[in-house]
Homo-oligomer: A and B are copies of this chain.
Amino acid sequence: MTEKALQQLKTAETEKISHLDYFNIGITVDCVILGYEEKELKVQLIKSDMQEYSGLYSLPGDFIRPDEDLEAASYRVLKEKTGLDDVYLEQVRTFGNIFRHPSGRVITVAYYSLIDIKNHKLQTDLNELHWHPVNEIKKLAFDHKLILDTCLHRLRQQVMEHPVIFNLLPEKFSLRELQELYEAILGVELDRRNFRKKISIKDWLLDIDEMEHNVPHRPGKLYMLKKQFRNKSVKTGAVLQFA
């Protein structure tokens, strides 16, 4: 923003556009909270109780407080809705069409978060949020279907380049579980041998010399993500990548 714009603002009360008008835009964060269960990618949704969208679900979100960073606002929403605070979270895009919200001008910054549904700290009873398989979602309140699709698109990009997918799995997992998760996110079938070769080349995994338990077939080996690849955000330091 230029000084010119600020001057405009400071003297705005004497002009047509009033000072207040510039601040008459609400700004929120919306969170696409993703989990993985029963070979499906799922998202937390709440039933919209706005008349305009009765019967439709919407994404959890809230206004950004004037004394709160963007990331702090989305972490707060996450903590309120899931009880979790040490989670992967990434900004995706800001949505600001004039008529996107029936109650007035509201611009929203969309984040997506990846959590382990089996995390024992996860509390789903804090509110009226429930898991919904993303593939079954046809329509959402507001522009939330667009927001969801944009986040899923970004997730698919990230997954091909960075080890972010592990945030959706328990600490220990088998190669089969990992492959099924890739397949669920990318919507493709992968060849087991080629998949294992590719993962092996990445050198992300630690063989912890344990086996699966309670599976109705021959148990597979368990692995963990090496510590140096654990990420709570891809963006951390990312702008320095080419510096």
A residues lining the B interface (CB < 8 Å) = 1-3, 5-6, 8-9, 17, 21-28, 30, 46, 48-50, 58, 60-70, 91, 93-98, 101, 103, 105-109, 142, 146, 149-150, 152-153, 156, 186-187, 238-243
Contact = CB atoms under 8 A, between A and B. Distances in A.
A129 to B, nearest CB: 10
Contact of A23 (B24, B50, B240): B24
A48 B3 contact: yes
B64 A25 contact: yes
A2 B60 contact: yes
Contacts of A187: 242
A21 B109 CA distance: 18
24 contacts: A1-B142, A3-B50, A5-B63, A9-B26, A21-B66, A22-B65, A23-B23, A23-B26, A24-B66, A27-B27, A64-B96, A67-B98, A67-B105, A68-B98, A69-B98, A70-B94, A70-B95, A70-B97, A70-B107, A146-B239, A152-B242, A153-B239, A153-B241, A186-B242
Contacts of A142: 1
Nearest to A61: B1
